[in-house]
Amino acid sequence: MLARVDPKMHIMAKRIFMFFLVLVLATACKTVPFTGRKQLNFMPNSQLFPMAFAQYEKFLKEHQLSSNQQDARRVKQVGHRIVDALNRYLRKHHREDYVKDYKWEFNLVKDPQKNAWCMPGGKVVVYEGIMDVCQNDAGLATVMGHEISHALANHGGERMSQGLIQQLGAIGVNVATQNKTEKERILWMTAYGLGSQVGVLLPFSRKQESEADEIGLLLMTMAGYDPNEALKFWERMEKMAGGAAPPEILSTHPAHKTRIANIRRLIPIVKKKAAKYK
């Protein structure tokens, strides 16, 4: 004989489930520092960063570093200047703890792609192919500031959280991330914009893009680079996108006209803001 579920128990179970769902969502709703936007993110750094560091190590083993020592040095210099500016910003807001688990690293990789990315925890890769578009250190600071800002604003964790909500439901998250299956690995890679390497592409949302532009622009300006160069950089990128094969970075970075108009609007604002952090 099968045991019948008491309908009252059933309702109770539903209520408990809802209670935990609300609890998960409430604790998962975080505020992006720098912009104050609320985001859904229940991926803790303690879980994400070790995965990111391991993936970065793996990437560097499988890819050749650039033999152009001068450019490789520039990538590191610009990266450190941006991080110095970031630390200044956080100190002023008494939020130094925000990056305490970050392990910054900046590498130039031998690859003709016009691309760059930053993994959670501050692991940056710039591809040789984008150096021509950057033209100068301010152009490089535009790209690196933008990618670093995606990581700082936890855009990957946010997308992963949204993806997991859709796929598994909030309750399943812990179970799902404990077993690092191939499917989960692909989801993770996709969430961090490395999708092209596993055959799936999931673009950052327009909101995340303009947020990364805004934070990146502030950081590069605070680091002493001319924000007008960001405008010139994206205009060069747009010109290249007109060709038959759009640059790699654009496949995850949509809406050029909107971006350029937005950056033009932001330049005087970030200049004013950056002056307060001198």
Instruction: Give the residue carrying structure tokens 């019948």.
Output: 4
Residues 150-189 that bind Zn ion (CB under 5 A): none
Instruction: Write down the catalytic residue from 147, 158, 211, 214.
Output: 147
Nearer CB in complex with Zn ion: 211/229: 211
With H, G, I as helix, E, B as strand and everything else as coil, classify residue 11: helix
Residues facing residue 127 across a β-bridge: 109
- Helix 206-222, helix 256-275: angle, nearest 10: 40
The CB-of-83 to Zn ion minimum distance in angstroms stands at 18
The CB-of-119 to Zn ion minimum distance in angstroms stands at 13
Handedness of CA 85, 89, 91, 96 (dihedral sign): negative
The CB-of-255 to Zn ion minimum distance in angstroms stands at 11
Considering only 20-28, 44-52, 62-70, 212-220, which stretch makes contact with Zn ion by CB under 5 A? 212-220
The CB-of-212 to Zn ion minimum distance in angstroms stands at 5
* CB atoms closer than 10 angstroms to residue 276: 9
Nearer CB in complex with Zn ion: 128/147: 147
How many residues bind Zn ion (CB under 5 A)? The answer is: 2
Considering only 94-102, 179-187, 208-216, 237-245, which stretch makes contact with Zn ion by CB under 5 A? 208-216
d(C-alpha 6, C-alpha 17), whole Å: 17
End-to-end CA distance of the chain: 76
Q: Is 209 a catalytic residue?
A: no
Nearer CB in complex with Zn ion: 158/184: 158
Nearer CB in complex with Zn ion: 142/177: 142
The CB-of-204 to Zn ion minimum distance in angstroms stands at 5
Considering only 7-15, 34-42, 117-125, 250-258, which stretch makes contact with Zn ion by CB under 5 A? 250-258
Considering only 43-51, 105-113, 211-219, 267-275, which stretch makes contact with Zn ion by CB under 5 A? 211-219
Pairing label, strands 105-109, 123-127? parallel
Q: Which residues, in sequence order, are CB contacts of 199 under 8 Å at separation 6+?
A: none
Tell me which DSSP letter residue 2 carries: P
With contact defined as beta carbons under 8 Å apart, do 94 and 81 qualify? Answer: no
Kindly report the CA angle at 30 between 28 and 258, in degrees rounded to 5?
120
Nearer CB in complex with Zn ion: 24/160: 160
Active site residues: 147
**What is the contact surface with Zn ion in residues (CB under 5 A)?**
212, 253
